[in-house]
Amino acid sequence: MSSTLPAPQPADREGLYRVIANRRDVRNGFRDDAVPDDVLTRVLAAAHQAPSVGLSQPWDFLLVRDPVVRARVHDLSVQQRAAYAATLPTARATAFRTIKVEAILDTSLNVVVTCDRTRGGRHVLGRHSQPQMATYSTACAVQNLWLAARVEGLGVGWVSFFDERELAECLGLPEHVEIVAYVCIGYVDAFPPAPELALAGWANRRPLAWAVHNERWGNRALPGEEPVTLLNDTLAAIRPLDPAAISEAHERQDRLTKPRGSLGVLEDLSVQLAGLAGACPPPLPEPAALAIFAGDHGVHAQGVTPWPQEVTAQMVANFVAGGAVVNAAAAQVGAEVCVVDVGVAATLDPVPGLLPRKVRAGTADMTAEPAMTREQAVLALETGIEVARDLAAAGNKVLLTGDMGIANTTASAALIAVFTGADVAAVTGRGTGVDEQTLARKVDVVRRALALHRPDPADPVGVVAAVGGLEHAALAGFMLGAAALGLPVVLDGVIAAAAALVAQALAPEVTGALVAGHLSAEPGARPALARLGLRPLVDLDLRLGEGSGAVLALPLVQVAVRVLHDVATFDSAGVSDKDTPAPA
Ligand SMILES: Cc1cc2nc3c(=O)[nH]c(=O)nc-3n(C[C@H](O)[C@H](O)[C@H](O)COP(=O)(O)O)c2cc1C
């Protein structure tokens, strides 16, 4: 009988989990003392024991100590760091300047972990259809190195601010060898208690429960828990505003060095956001991310707009390229722009900045059949929730809504009519500027769709499925997802307001997270916002969509909160309050 390995002891188990939990990426606080040869050998031996495809062990370790070489490598990383910083919205760029991303010169030992995808010839077991398995195997070696270094008291920082080929050339590597990791290694006295990026507020760890699916994608639950749909999980997490934080914010506003109430709506806003965060002052709403949800509409066939449907896809390309009005506005206020294809009719090429989340290629014509199935409506809602979660985990403190979809003011009018009970003619507008005859047709189209489906406002999923758009459903999900995480959402115009009515019907408390960015010139906006109980911050006759009105309102939201952070109180500034006479 062949011998087997000894069973792990409880102390092994605890030790291993502790090391995994306490492993840190380290870029600060390195000491000068060198890593002894025996220690380094142990660490490299641990790396070399990693699992690998077909036992191919495709890695090698290049030890770099020469200060001249490290200085050259450092120069390369400085260039890439600058190139990355140039792509960041202002608030992100400011935060990025405070983050250290490499320690090439601070540690006297740098290790390059390389991968040879050709090692072992044609027949490496498991690499036949997936050559990238060699690279993944090498990443396992890096992880082993990282954990072994941790138990030796060595900090490891993985630097990826490189053009890989440029770095390979600088290091004189053979052509067939790729660089998987460049790590800086050295002794440190202390390891940060949490990822440094989390401590810096740059990004947050995603909870495990978000990542575990049961049997089919989306059926999330931790082992032993009842699976719950993303939508239901999100709805259950939406809470009323925190009354303690609300009264604290009220009191603080009254103590600030200004006449009470003189900041008008901005005071109410600051109180709302304190209630939402459950803290006074609430976090500053930055960085900000705008998500533009794009979808097409089958009702376009009814001649409700003079614009061809292809414009949806063309504008998506424009947003991604940075050429639209909303890009200019977002650049000015420092918001990130993220474009989501939730239902564009055309097939879009993958490009950075575009999230491919197509639920279906445009809705059906609501005058003939439901715009989408209930399942598709739920999928689109959940798509919006996921986007909100991702943008929150990426460290954004406020989300903004945007939309693109030729004919989407028609679907918005239908949604607003259903949820407000207003007459269709009173909530149907000219959208992108239709003439009298087209407006009359548009009203008739909405009336016919409502007569056909008789949507029930008590069944919001059914309503959005019957007469909504994929971007409406996704926007509603986006708002719900943000509210569930206590994050404010600044709404753009009438499309967002229509979507917010869907969200409100699903979870009335969602309105606590919503801020109406502006009053759209579309007639449906006013009754929709009234029903939501929201007061628009900006009123400039805008009717552009794209998220432009939300972006314009962002600085107002930020000022409202900053006042709670920065403004002196009567006590602290020694200023006499009107109602409290100065001491004699
Ligand atoms: C593949 C990879 C590349 C990384 N590149 C960088 C980098 O270039 N600069 C940096 O500051 N951190 C880099 N990191 C470190 C991550 O930021 C860090 O692992 C993450 O924030 C989690 O923190 P923790 O490792 O302390 O748990 C990288 C990590 C990995 C896995």
Q: 472: domain range? A: 284-557
pLDDT the model gives residue 523: 96
**277-293 per-position pLDDT tens digit:** 999 999 999 999 999 99
Return the minimum-mean-pLDDT range out of 57-61, 106-110, 400-404, 571-575.
Answer: 571-575
Mean pLDDT of 326-340: 97
User: Considering only CA atoms, which residue is closest to atom 29 of ligand 1?
Assistant: 158
Strand extents, DSSP E, 29-128: 59-64, 109-116
Residue 399 shares a structural domain with residue 521: yes
Best of 24, 73, 158 for a ligand 1 pocket test (most atoms within 8 Å of beta carbon): 158
Residue 154 shares a structural domain with residue 14: yes
Answer with the one of 200, 222, 250 that is the final residue of a domain: 200
Burial of 223 (0-12, 13-18, 19+ CB in 10 A): exposed
User: Considering only CA atoms, which residue is closest to atom 6 of ligand 1?
Assistant: 159
In a domain, 336, yes or no: yes
In a domain, 246, yes or no: no
**433-458 per-position pLDDT tens digit:** 889 999 999 999 999 999 999 999 99
Residue 195 shares a structural domain with residue 74: yes
Return the minimum-mean-pLDDT range out of 180-194, 207-221, 375-389, 484-498.
Answer: 207-221
**15-24 per-position pLDDT tens digit:** 999 999 999 9
Residue 174 shares a structural domain with residue 303: no
Angle in degrees, CA 459, 381, 496, rounded to 5: 85
pLDDT the model gives residue 183: 98
Ligand 1 mean position, distance from CA 139 (Å): 13
Q: Bigger pLDDT: 171 or 583?
A: 171
Residue 43 shares a structural domain with residue 182: yes
Residue 20 one-letter amino acid = I
pLDDT above 70 coverage of the chain, percent: 99
Mean pLDDT of 317-341: 97
CATH of the domain at 182: 3.40.109.10
Answer with the one of 159, 176, 200 that is the final residue of a domain: 200
Provide residues with CB under 6 Å of ligand 1. 24-25, 27, 101, 158-161, 195, 197
Q: Bigger pLDDT: 264 or 575?
A: 264
Q: Which atom of ligand 1 is nearest to the CA of 194?
A: 26
Mean pLDDT of 456-477: 98
Mean pLDDT of 131-152: 98
In a domain, 570, yes or no: no
**347-380 per-position pLDDT tens digit:** 999 999 999 999 999 999 999 999 999 999 999 9
User: Considering only CA atoms, which residue is closest to atom 11 of ligand 1?
Assistant: 101
439, two tokens: 């407006």
524, two tokens: 């449906």
Sheet holding 354-356, edge to edge: 354-356, 335-343, 288-295, 398-404, 489-491, 514-516
Q: Which atom of ligand 1 is nearest to the CA of 100?
A: 11
Ligand 1 mean position, distance from CA 191 (Å): 14
**Within 13 Å of residue 21, how many CA atoms lie on the same side as its CB?**
7
Ligand 1 mean position, distance from CA 84 (Å): 15
Residue 168 shares a structural domain with residue 307: no
User: Pick the catalytic residue: 248, 286, 386, 546?
Assistant: 546
Burial of 202 (0-12, 13-18, 19+ CB in 10 A): middle
Ligand 1 mean position, distance from CA 25 (Å): 6
**Which residue, among 388, 406, 523, has the nearest Cα to 469 in the 3D structure?**
406
In a domain, 17, yes or no: yes
Best of 19, 22, 23, 25 for a ligand 1 pocket test (most atoms within 8 Å of beta carbon): 25
In a domain, 574, yes or no: no
Residue 121 one-letter amino acid = G
Answer with the one of 166, 183, 200 that is the final residue of a domain: 200
Ligand 1 mean position, distance from CA 393 (Å): 15
In a domain, 214, yes or no: no
Mean pLDDT of 524-545: 95
User: Considering only CA atoms, which residue is closest to atom 7 of ligand 1?
Assistant: 159
Residue 469 shares a structural domain with residue 332: yes
**77-118 per-position pLDDT tens digit:** 999 999 999 999 988 999 999 999 999 999 999 999 999 999
Q: Which atom of ligand 1 is nearest to the CA of 203?
A: 21
pLDDT the model gives residue 239: 96
**206-219 per-position pLDDT tens digit:** 999 999 999 999 89
* pTM, entire model: 0.94
Is 375 known to be catalytic? Answer: no
Q: Is the pLDDT of residue 542 over 90?
A: no
pLDDT the model gives residue 2: 64
Ligand 1 mean position, distance from CA 373 (Å): 42
Count of structural domains within the chain: 2
C-alpha dist (Å) from residue 315 to 88, 155, 349, 384, 561: 22, 47, 14, 20, 33
Q: Is the pLDDT of residue 581 over 60?
A: no
Q: Which residues have a Cβ under 8 Å from the Cβ of 245 and sit 6 or more positions away?
A: 274, 275, 277, 278, 279, 280, 282
CATH of the domain at 369: 3.40.50.10210
Residue 191 shares a structural domain with residue 313: no
Ligand 1 mean position, distance from CA 198 (Å): 11
pLDDT the model gives residue 580: 61
Q: Which atom of ligand 1 is nearest to the CA of 142?
A: 31
pLDDT the model gives residue 434: 85
In a domain, 248, yes or no: no
Residue 388 shares a structural domain with residue 489: yes
Residue 366 shares a structural domain with residue 491: yes
Would you say how long the chain is, in residues?
584
**292-304 per-position pLDDT tens digit:** 999 999 999 999 9
CA distance 465 to 246: 36
As a whole number, the mean pLDDT across the chain is 96
User: Considering only CA atoms, which residue is closest to atom 19 of ligand 1?
Assistant: 25
Best of 106, 150, 160, 163 for a ligand 1 pocket test (most atoms within 8 Å of beta carbon): 160
User: Considering only CA atoms, which residue is closest to atom 10 of ligand 1?
Assistant: 101
Residue 193 shares a structural domain with residue 292: no
User: Considering only CA atoms, which residue is closest to atom 31 of ligand 1?
Assistant: 158
Ligand 1 mean position, distance from CA 197 (Å): 9
Ligand 1 mean position, distance from CA 324 (Å): 33
pLDDT above 90 coverage of the chain, percent: 94
Ligand 1 mean position, distance from CA 371 (Å): 44
Return the minimum-mean-pLDDT range out of 104-113, 187-196, 271-280, 569-578.
Answer: 569-578
In a domain, 566, yes or no: no
pLDDT the model gives residue 584: 45
Burial of 349 (0-12, 13-18, 19+ CB in 10 A): exposed
pLDDT the model gives residue 516: 98
